[in-house]
Structure 1
Amino acid sequence: MLKFEDFKPITLNDIGIIKEHQINYPPVHSDNSFTNMFCWNDYAAYRYLMVEDSLIIISTIEGVHSVRGPFGSENTDLFLKTVNLAAEIGGEYAYQIFDVKTREKFSRIFPDAKMNPDRDFFDYIYKTSDLKDLPGKKYLTIRKHLNKFRNKCRYTIESITEENLYEVEDFLIRWCEWKECSKTKVFGYEKDAAVSSVKNFVKLGLSGLIIRVEDNISAISIFEELNTDTAIVHFEKGLPDCQGNYKGINNETAKVLSDRYEFINRESDLGLSGLRDAKIRYHPCSFAEVHYVKAEDLIKVIDL
């Protein structure tokens, strides 16, 4: 039997345990990367439990728990215990499913349970070569905007390093002032997560790029490996000082990642219509989907 009290809050000290596990069982969705769980901890209060070679995760948002996993080798008994825990402590999003294998297993064992797609948290997956080369008619408008940026703005590209991290943190604060983060809760949490990634940049093993215009940071990206064929771009931000800088940082990031990764995960749109339009405009080749099952629906199909 699993209990909530068995789960340990995720801290930076747990990076070795979780990342070592994810070498053997790599995540496919950004929300299961250690960086996201650590940096968004103020929002979702992540906890974890290792059972043999399996990882189980609980997130708690505004006092409501969600359970996911187990991630590891095949273990039906542990799977059933995890689902039971979700039914006991979970709410609207009691049990969350982030991969096809788990979705198929859940459907097989609980064919009458209702799974709900959580479209707002589908990750957008792109071919790295598409973001790098912007080929064909479907990218014509983006190429035009990118060319305008290159012709209009005198800019330089550099890597994020320990020496310029303080400038990146200052840039994020200015970005948040421009976006009026205090008026939109999700932007406030995103700013906190992004600043956390910068403060712990080296320990988290992150990489990043800067676009400077007239010596000032105009746009940044922060990224890392998600799995062997996919890089994940955690944050991609730009100020309104030079139109097209978002397209510039996107393209430059793809160039850096193209030699090693076939795909780029640019995370979800959080249900924000403007962000959704922007991500769709880049023509994702697939999505890393998320589904959830409500506690009330779990209770109907399992014996507690």
Structure 2
Amino acid sequence: MTMNVLKNLDFSKAPLIYKDKERNQENRNTESGLSNFRPITLSDRDILNSYLLENPYGICDFSFGNIYIWQHKYNTRYTLHKGFLILRAGEEGEHSYLMPLGKGNLKEVMEDLFDLEGDALRFSSITPHMEEELRDIMPDGFKVVNPDDFCDYIYLSENMITLKGKKFNGKRNHINKFMSLYGDKYEYTEINDSLIEECKEMNRKWCLERDCRKSQTDYCETMRALDNYKEIGLKGGVLKVEDEVVAFTLGQKNNDNTFNVLIEKALGHIEGAYPMINKEFAAQETSDFIYINREEDMGEEGLKKAKLSYRPHLLLMKGMGVFQ
């Protein structure tokens, strides 16, 4: 299928302790308004998901897992206001918001945010769908600025499961190579508690392969996800060769149509491990969904090339919404 492109869609700061032990007994399922933005805890999952899973946009930003594991890097906070979930990132004076999610008077909520932030009000990850909605209610002065190539990569789950057709010849060849090398030595299994420490050890090896202490990676966020995978609500798959974990992936439901792959890692010296874990996980976890969101490329050319090689069904462009 022809790719559709829609125009408008530190390591050092990561926590040293990955297991979230915070259990706030306060009733957080109450509206607190724009004066009380809260950190995200695991006990907030159900209330946030009551909004997030209803989102019609399908962007990776609305995955509870992403919000939770990256909140320390982006200083993500949330509040409930007039029937809407409002997510905010950034430090004081440099806030950016995601599209409010909920049912009610969106225009009134937007006006409240404008009263709070003034001309500094800005929104991140604004898709074409969101832009249309916001222009309808705030026609004057609203503009979406599009960073080059800032998008989510959206795939048809059927394509990722079957890899049919000439366009996937390369992927099938990599898998065939994997099978020729490890066909009687590999095992794919759903992630479980007994595999967490092995996955964390593989994450350390993956980090060493990339010398990741000298570059920005998701090493710490991956550890946080593994330590809390059940509480976050993640599904996972693990690929073993000769009883050693060589690849794993983690993801979760984004909405009724879309499954979100948050993390996918494989050891570089195991030929074909990436396409193998990709196909196995898609077959096991995504057959009930139309789309798979494999998230952004973070501006990395290698990651961009890898994502494009799977022939995305859609590049869901995302821009920054500002007022001028």
TM-score over 0.5 (shorter chain): yes
Q: 2:145 aligns with which of 116, 123, 132?
A: 116
1:241 matched to which residue of 2? 269
Greater mean deviation of Cα atoms: 210-219 or 23-32 = 23-32
Greater mean deviation of Cα atoms: 115-124 or 14-23 = 115-124
Q: Deviation digits for residues 56-75 of structure 1, max 9, x if unmatched?
A: 11111798321122211242
Q: Deviation digits for residues 108-141 of structure 1, max 9, x if unmatched?
A: 3235443112345411110111011111111111
Distance 1:21 1:113 in 2: 25
* 2:34–2:79 CA contact under 8 A, matched in 1: no
Q: 1:193 aligns with which of 218, 221, 241?
A: 221
Distance 1:271 1:45, change over 3 A: same
SS of the equivalent of 1:55 reads strand
* 1:225–1:232 CA contact under 8 A, matched in 2: yes
2:192 matched to which residue of 1? 161
* 1:160–1:208 CA contact under 8 A, matched in 2: yes
Distance 1:86 1:135, change over 3 A: farther
* Amino acid across the alignment from 1:18: L
Q: Deviation digits for residues 210-253 of structure 1, max 9, x if unmatched?
A: 11111111111111111112111110000123111001111111
Distance 1:88 1:10 in 2: 27
Greater mean deviation of Cα atoms: 124-133 or 97-106 = 97-106
1:6 matched to which residue of 2? 36
* Amino acid across the alignment from 2:232: L
Q: Deviation digits for residues 20-73 of structure 1, max 9, x if unmatched?
A: 223444651111211111100121111111113211111117983211222112
SS of the equivalent of 2:231 reads helix
SS of the equivalent of 1:64 reads coil
Q: Kindly state the Cα deviation for residue 292 of structure 1 after the two structures are TM-superposed.
A: 0.4
Distance 2:284 2:87 in 1: 32
Structure 2: which 5+ runs fail to align? Answer: 1-31
* Amino acid across the alignment from 2:86: I
Q: 1:55 aligns with which of 85, 95, 118?
A: 85
SS of the equivalent of 1:40 reads helix
Distance 1:261 1:105, change over 3 A: closer
Q: 1:95 aligns with which of 120, 123, 128?
A: 123
* 2:77–2:87 CA contact under 8 A, matched in 1: yes
* 2:57–2:129 CA contact under 8 A, matched in 1: no
Distance 2:302 2:70 in 1: 22
2:165 matched to which residue of 1? 136
* 2:259–2:286 CA contact under 8 A, matched in 1: no
* Amino acid across the alignment from 1:71: L
* 2:251–2:261 CA contact under 8 A, matched in 1: yes
Q: 1:272 aligns with which of 288, 297, 300?
A: 300
2:21 matched to which residue of 1? none
TM-score, scaled relative to structure 1:
0.87
Distance 2:145 2:95 in 1: 17
SS of the equivalent of 1:6 reads coil
State percent identity of aligned pairs.
Answer: 28
Aligned residue pair count: 289
Distance 1:9 1:133 in 2: 40
Q: Kindly state the Cα deviation for residue 97 of structure 1 after the two structures are TM-superposed.
A: 4.2
Q: Kindly state the Cα deviation for residue 286 of structure 1 after the two structures are TM-superposed.
A: 1.1
* Amino acid across the alignment from 1:211: L
Q: 2:62 aligns with which of 32, 40, 46?
A: 32
Distance 2:91 2:73 in 1: 6
Distance 2:37 2:174 in 1: 48
* Amino acid across the alignment from 1:125: I
The answer to whether residue 181 in structure 2 is matched with residue 152 in structure 1 is: yes
Distance 2:116 2:230 in 1: 35
Q: Deviation digits for residues 120-173 of structure 1, max 9, x if unmatched?
A: 541111011101111111111111111111111231111110111111111112
* 1:210–1:249 CA contact under 8 A, matched in 2: yes
Q: Which residues of 2 match residues 173-212 of structure 1 at below 5 A?
A: 173-185=204-216, 187=217, 190-212=218-240
* Amino acid across the alignment from 2:236: G
2:103 matched to which residue of 1? 73
